[in-house]
């Protein structure tokens, strides 16, 4: 191959390297690609890539390769580089021009040294010490600064021992080598700067998401942590589905891109709650508004007791010493007070909320509501107002139908907010994943009434994660966290009732995702011994 053809071949190789650099996504892999490419294009035996630490004013070893010594450190090698960083300035603030790498970074100049053992002006004592310990001879050096688009030094490429392509002998780096490496360093700096910028933007974006979730969780101490736990459980289920080799999901597979997209969707699944009124989110009891109105009801019971006492005293006064009539009045009063105390305790129990309020309890509540009492203005009226009766009649939980609609509206706002964002291609499915966690497999969910066939596997995963987290959460105002057996029983019933995805439920059980999650987030008393044969919907052969 003549010199012209050889140069064209190297330029073509340089172009191919530039394309490869632009396609590399992982920073460690990118750095390694840069150094390996630099060695290949110059036929160097060894090389080091340093990164500039502007805050500490250092050059840190990032990647080190030496073919003759079969040494690979840093990057994807898994071997840590133990060499100390190179200081750019001494304690007095004087620039360090003795080291060839630091000189290149400080001066922004390329340094091409034919033989380190005869070179003047640089301190190669460390290099010679290394050679003495390893039997290696570091001879020719080519050191090039890497400058970003703002003309700032972001690193240094240093190659050692150029090899003649025919004889293999160690030779100085040629001018062509120097020009090619300078061109590569420029391309590498741009690729690294772009990758860093993308990483910084991704981190900024995820920090913004965490800020929103912090604001949502801070609105309510009762749901604090929900926005963090749901994405974690979602990813645990996703990995379990990815790893399963049996059942309908055996071919389900996730790429790193898929994982990031799903994790971000999990972090944003409740972002619409930022618009939900705090008094609804924090409604710990049925009668709570700004305060718990049960105390007002307690006061009315005291008024009824007072009225009963007045009635007894009047009856006794009218008895004119009739002992029998007076005793009857006392007994009637005692019975009335006992009944009122029982009714008060009953209302307090109703106010707490629970899983299901019976028809008998509803009827008893209406009887109490019909009691008559005289208010501060002397007006007679029902013991409970219509609003109080409506709230205390809530069959499960603490929210009325209207308040439940307010809570449910958060998913509408989540979708609206996410749809307004200009998602890049690799995050196009975030809205679909996050917006589907309240849908049901039978189409009876909300807000869009989607069926299983209309939903992605990832959106179905989030539905299970959201439910299981809510069942086991220890920080809800209206209930304590359920045990594993209780939670899985409800989840199993949801599978049979068309609420959640049956295949994902099977993976959730078979791969013991519930137990891995429990060990991280549940209290010890919640982690009971689960008898899977008694859990509805469990297919032990799945």
266-297 tens-digit pLDDT:
999 888 888 777 777 667 777 787 778 888 88
Contact at 8 Å (CB) between 134 and 120? no
Task: Please give the structure tokens belonging to residue 522.
Answer: 């549940």
Nearest to 475 by CA among 407, 437, 528, 522: 522
Dist CA 221 CA 461 (whole Å): 26
Task: Please give the structure tokens belonging to residue 449.
Answer: 């009434």
Instruction: Return the pLDDT at 178.
Output: 92
User: In the chain, what are the helix, strand and coil shares in percent, each to the nearest 5?
Assistant: 55, 10, 35
In a shared domain, residues 309 and 388: yes
Task: Please give the structure tokens belonging to residue 305.
Answer: 């007791």
In a shared domain, residues 47 and 155: yes
| Residue that is last in its domain, among 345, 363, 397 | 397
Most confident of 174-178, 194-198, 232-236: 232-236
State the residue for tokens 């399963």.
244
229-245 tens-digit pLDDT:
999 999 999 999 999 99
Give the count of domains, the chain. 3
Q: Is the peptide bond before 520 cis (omega within 30 degrees of 0)?
A: no
In a shared domain, residues 408 and 376: no
Instruction: Return the pLDDT at 503.
Output: 96
Q: Mean pLDDT, to the nearest integer, of 297-313?
A: 91
- With b for 16 or more beta-carbon neighbours within 10 A and e for fewer, the 119-149 pattern comes to eeebebeebeeebeeeebbbbbbbbbbbbbe
| Residue that is last in its domain, among 351, 366, 397 | 397
In a shared domain, residues 157 and 12: yes
Contact at 8 Å (CB) between 246 and 542? yes
Instruction: Return the pLDDT at 408.
Output: 76
φ, ψ of residue 462 to 5 degrees: the values are: -65, -30
In a shared domain, residues 34 and 102: yes
Contacts of 238 (CB under 8 A, 6+ apart): 254, 259, 262, 458, 461
Dist CA 410 CA 52 (whole Å): 46
Q: Mean pLDDT, to the nearest integer, of 72-86?
A: 89
The answer on pLDDT for 404 being more than 90 is: no
In a shared domain, residues 302 and 447: no
Instruction: Return the pLDDT at 41.
Output: 85
* Higher pLDDT pick, 22 / 146: 146
Contacts of 13 (CB under 8 A, 6+ apart): 40, 41
Task: Please give the structure tokens belonging to residue 490.
Answer: 């409800």
Q: Report the chain's mean pLDDT, rounded to a whole number.
A: 87
Residues spanned by the domain of 385:
294-397
Task: Please give the structure tokens belonging to residue 285.
Answer: 């009891």
CB-based contacts of 126-135 (< 8 A; 24+ apart in sequence): 134/69
In a domain, 288, yes or no: no
| Residue that is last in its domain, among 397, 420, 449 | 397
Q: Mean pLDDT, to the nearest integer, of 501-517?
A: 96
In a domain, 287, yes or no: no
With cut-offs at 50, 70 and 90, classify the pLDDT of residue 496. very high
Task: Give the predicted TM-score (pTM) of the model.
Answer: 0.66
As separate numbers, helices (DSSP H) first and strands (DSSP E) second, the chain gives 18, 10
Phi-psi region of 23 (alpha: psi -120 to 50; beta: other; left: phi over 0): alpha
Q: How many CB atoms lie within 10 A of CB 357?
A: 19
Contact at 8 Å (CB) between 158 and 47? yes
With cut-offs at 50, 70 and 90, classify the pLDDT of residue 115. very high
With cut-offs at 50, 70 and 90, classify the pLDDT of residue 24. low
Instruction: Return the pLDDT at 277.
Output: 77
Q: How many CB atoms lie within 10 A of CB 188?
A: 27
The answer on pLDDT for 542 being more than 70 is: no
In a shared domain, residues 161 and 277: no
């Amino acid at each position: 191959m003549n010199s012209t053809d050889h140069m064209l071949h190297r330029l073509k190789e340089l172009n191919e390297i530039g394309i490869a650099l632009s396609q590399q996504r992982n920073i460690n892999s990118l750095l390694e690609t840069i150094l390996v490419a630099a060695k290949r294009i110059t036929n160097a035996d060894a090389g080091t890539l340093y990164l500039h630490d502007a805050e500490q004013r250092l050059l840190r070893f990032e990647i080190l390769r030496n073919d003759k010594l079969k040494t690979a450190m840093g990057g994807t090698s898994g071997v840590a580089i133990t060499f100390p960083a190179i200081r750019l300035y001494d304690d007095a603030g004087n620039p360090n021009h003795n080291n060839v790498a630091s000189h290149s970074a400080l001066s922004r100049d390329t340094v091409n040294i034919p033989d380190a053992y005869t070179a003047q002006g640089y301190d190669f004592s460390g290099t010679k010490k290394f050679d003495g310990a390893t039997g290696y001879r570091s001879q020719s050096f080519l050191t090039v600064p890497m400058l970003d688009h703002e003309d700032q030094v972001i690193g240094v490429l240093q190659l050692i021992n150029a090899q003649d392509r025919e004889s293999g002998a160690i030779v100085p780096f040629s001018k062509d080598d120097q020009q090619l490496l300078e061109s590569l360093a420029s391309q590498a700096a741009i690729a690294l700067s772009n990758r860093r910028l993308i990483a910084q933007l991704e981190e900024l974006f995820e920090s913004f998401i965490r800020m929103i979730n912090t604001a949502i969780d801070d609105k309510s101490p009762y749901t604090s942590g929900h926005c963090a736990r749901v994405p974690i459980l979602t990813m645990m289920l996703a990995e379990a589905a990815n790893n399963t080799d049996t059942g309908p999901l055996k071919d389900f597979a996730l790429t790193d891109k898929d994982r990031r997209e799903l994790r971000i969707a999990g972090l944003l699944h409740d972002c619409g709650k930022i618009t939900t009124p705090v008094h609804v989110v924090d409604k710990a009891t049925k009668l709570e508004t700004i305060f718990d109105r049960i105390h007002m009801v307690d006061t009315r019971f005291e008024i009824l007791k007072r009225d009963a006492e007045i009635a007894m005293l009047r009856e006794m006064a009218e008895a004119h010493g009739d002992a029998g009539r007076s005793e009857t009045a006392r007994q009637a009063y005692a019975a009335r007070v006992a009944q009122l105390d029982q009714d008060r305790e009953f209302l307090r129990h109703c106010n707490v909320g629970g899983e299901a309020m019976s028809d008998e309890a509803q009827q008893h509540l209406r009887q109490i509501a019909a009691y008559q009492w005289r208010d501060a203005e002397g007006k007679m009226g029902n013991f409970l107002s219509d609003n109080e009766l409506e709230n205390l009649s809530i069959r499960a939980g603490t929210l009325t139908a209207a308040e439940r609609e307010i809570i449910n509206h958060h998913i509408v706002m989540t979708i609206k907010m996410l749809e307004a964002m200009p998602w890049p291609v690799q995050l196009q499915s975030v809205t679909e994943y996050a917006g589907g966690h309240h849908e049901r497999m039978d189409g009876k969910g909300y807000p869009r009434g989607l069926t299983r066939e209309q939903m992605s596997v990832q959106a179905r995963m989030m539905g299970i994660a959201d439910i299981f987290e809510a069942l086991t959460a220890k920080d809800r105002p209206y209930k304590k966290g359920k045990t594993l057996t209780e939670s899985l029983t409800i989840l199993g019933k949801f599978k049979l009732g068309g609420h959640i995805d049956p295949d994902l439920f099977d993976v959730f059980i078979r791969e013991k995702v519930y137990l891995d999650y429990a060990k991280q987030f549940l209290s010890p008393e919640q982690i009971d011994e689960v008898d899977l044969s008694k859990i509805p919907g469990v297919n032990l052969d799945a």
